[in-house]
């Protein structure tokens, strides 16, 4: 089969908006940020946050497990939807990444606290809340010290920290494992406590690792050769 000899179009390295730095061509680099706050992805984040809170508040008022399940599902599905919309519609922004992280904590904490009305598991829930808010929140915000769009692209800086914390499997595990174990094994709460404690230790280790990484100075782009596989 003959191969075309026609020149291939050059990659679009122009700024996404006038006045922004030129794009370097690396997917996930901070130079891809259009600095646009009003977009569909952020709107979905607002809607799923408010909707989940309303459903969880209704669950607490009516002591209703179905309403709480609806609140959880709204949070989980909405959290996946806003991220996918941002990626596929090229609406990823550093503001949106931080906004999503904060809204995640609002939804997850409210769900976890109301969950205690139905299953008396204070210690596993306490360990999870400490991990998710006190340790994982600063850990998830730390990648913004580098010129990346969000923690979803931290593999450009350190692949191990990304795999343990922001790979899709790691994120789903962090927000669903504890509740799943408590629902399936309500009379064996030690299993959930061990799982929550294990995740906490991983997060503390990851926080220390990311804090030790060198932060590039005076650069608008992901530094070449920044990937650390160790």
Kindly report, residue by residue over 29-41, the tens digit of the pLDDT. 888 888 888 899 9
CA atoms of 172 and 79, how far apart (whole Å): 11
Task: Please write the tens of the pLDDT for every residue from 159-178.
Answer: 999 999 999 999 999 989 99
pTM: 0.86
pLDDT recorded at residue 226: 55
pLDDT recorded at residue 89: 87
Residues 180-193 have a mean pLDDT of 93
Res 146 pLDDT > 60 = yes
R_g (Cα) of the chain, nearest Å:
20
CA atoms of 48 and 54, how far apart (whole Å): 10
Res 206 pLDDT > 50 = yes
pLDDT recorded at residue 100: 96
Residue that the structure tokens 């979803």 belong to: 152
Map the chain to HEC letters.
Answer: CCCCCCCCCCCCCCCCCCCCCCCCCCCCEHHHCCCCCCCHHHHHHHHHHHHHHHHHHHHHHHCCHHHHHHHHHHHHHHHHHHHHHHHHCCCCCHHHHHHHHHHHHHHHHHHHHHHCCCCCCHHHHHHHHHHHHHHHHHHHHHHHHCCECCHHHHHHCEHHHHHHHCCHHHHHHHHHHHHHHHHHCCCCHHHHHHHHHHHHHHHHHHHHHHHHCCCCCCCCCCCCCCCECC
Residues 6+ apart with CB under 8 A from 180: none
Domain boundaries, the chain: 30-212
pLDDT recorded at residue 23: 79
pLDDT recorded at residue 27: 87
pLDDT recorded at residue 228: 47
pLDDT recorded at residue 13: 66
Categorize the per-residue pLDDT at 217 as very low, low, confident or very high, splitting at 50, 70 and 90.
confident
Residues 202, 136: contact at Cβ < 8 Å? Answer: no
Query: Could you tell me the fold of the domain covering 30-212?
Result: 1.20.120
Res 67 pLDDT > 80 = yes
pLDDT recorded at residue 166: 96
Task: Please write the tens of the pLDDT for every residue from 70-129.
Answer: 999 999 999 999 999 998 988 899 999 999 999 999 999 999 999 999 999 999 999 999
pLDDT recorded at residue 59: 97
Res 227 pLDDT > 60 = no
Q: Which of 175, 167, 151 is nearest to 97 (CA)?
A: 151
pLDDT recorded at residue 225: 57
Res 219 pLDDT > 90 = no
């Amino acid at each position: 089969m003959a191969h075309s000899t026609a020149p291939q179009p050059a990659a679009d390295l122009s700024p996404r908006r006038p006045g922004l730095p030129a794009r370097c061509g690396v997917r996930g680099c901070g130079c891809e940020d259009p600095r646009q706050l009003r977009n569909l992805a952020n709107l979905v984040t607002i809607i799923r946050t408010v909707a989940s809170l309303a459903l969880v508040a209704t669950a607490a008022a009516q002591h209703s497990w179905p309403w709480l399940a609806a609140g959880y599902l709204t949070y989980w599905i909405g959290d996946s939807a806003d991220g996918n919309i941002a990626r596929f519609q090229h609406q990823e922004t550093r503001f949106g990444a931080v906004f999503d992280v904060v809204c995640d904590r609002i939804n997850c904490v409210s769900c976890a606290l109301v969950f205690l009305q139905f299953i008396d598991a204070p210690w596993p829930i306490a360990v999870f809340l400490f991990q998710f808010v006190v340790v994982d929140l600063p850990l998830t915000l730390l990648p913004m010290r580098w010129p990346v769009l969000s923690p979803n692209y931290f593999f450009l800086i350190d692949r191990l920290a990304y795999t343990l914390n922001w790979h899709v499997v790691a994120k789903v595990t962090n927000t669903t494992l504890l509740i799943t174990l408590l629902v399936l094994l309500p009379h064996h709460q030690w299993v959930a406590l061990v799982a929550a404690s294990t995740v906490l230790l991983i997060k503390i280790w990851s926080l220390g690792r990311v804090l030790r990484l060198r932060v590039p100075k005076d650069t608008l782009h992901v530094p070449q050769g920044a990937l650390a596989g160790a």
